[in-house]
Amino acid sequence: MTTPIRQRLAECAAKARTCEVSGCHLPRQHFGKWCEAHDRRAQETGHPLGRTIRRREFEPFVKGARRYLDRHQDHPRIAKALSWLEALVYASGAAPAEITRKSTAHDRLLTWLVKLRRQEVSPVEMLAIAIGICAYREWSPQVFRSDRHFNHQLAIRVLRLARAERITTMHRGCHEYRRHDRITSGVRDLLSEALNRHVGVVALSVARKLVAKVNASNPVPTALTMILAGTASLASGQGAGTNEGKPTNE
């Protein structure tokens, strides 16, 4: 009635190799550092505890970036970044004939760029997204778990400027659906590395300006400013200046 020794040995070995995420005691995948769930999350977001950052979370910064770019398009560093993005989308050549499981990150990225080209996505819009997400990271650093998480989300948000294409199928009658192609990890690495190299510095410097502007117009409330403004809630006994300003986004 005892458990076969082989099975017990296998169980002990699995326990010894637990997921690297702290607090997670699940066995690791055969290859890699994480359990199945954390590995999948890392594949999807760029970090085992990361999440997908939605455009609407940092939309105010995208709007600010667009206004800024509108006024400063001729600034040499901005003009250079825009012309690099223009070349990336509009001069990168024809899409590969087909994407298969064996396609390289290069071919997959090219397919995405052609999609942006077909939809006439502008370099200004792409740069506004890059600036917007940089500003969001300056504003709420804790939202991004690591550089890699940030880089992957940057690439995803830029490529998702291409709307999902409508596909019509005749399977069991006529249906129309939107095809959401996956942006693979290799594509995100390839694109984010190039974006950081060619537009990263200018995006970050504009992002910091936008964040500084927001901070200047909405200073962090102190006990004194709240009392002066009459917003301190004395009756509830809640001390002013408690650290509950920023949402954690968790």
CA R_g for the chain: 24
Q: How far is the CB of 155 from Zn ion (least distance, A)?
A: 24
Q: Which two tokens stand for residue 111?
A: 């397919």
Q: Which amino acid is at 206?
A: V
Choose one: 1-9, 28-36, 163-171, 228-236; the region binding Zn ion (CB under 5 A).
28-36
Q: Which of residues 96-125 bind Zn ion (CB under 5 A)?
A: none
Cβ closer to Zn ion: 35 or 133? 35
Cβ closer to Zn ion: 29 or 103? 29
Q: How far is the CB of 29 from Zn ion (least distance, A)?
A: 9
Place of tokens 């290799």: 186
Place of tokens 């990168």: 92
Cβ closer to Zn ion: 35 or 206? 35
Q: Which of residues 34-53 bind Zn ion (CB under 5 A)?
A: 35, 38
Nearest CA among 113, 122, 159, 138 for reference residue 58: 138
Task: Choose, by CB under 5 A, the member of 22, 23, 24, 87 that binds Zn ion.
Answer: 24
Q: Which amino acid is at 138?
A: E
Residue 19 binds Zn ion (CB under 5 A): yes
User: Could you give the 3-state DSSP secondary structure of residue 120?
Assistant: coil
How distant is the alpha carbon of residue 35 from its chain centre? 23
Q: Could you list the residues that contact Zn ion (CB under 5 A)?
A: 19, 21, 24, 26, 35, 38
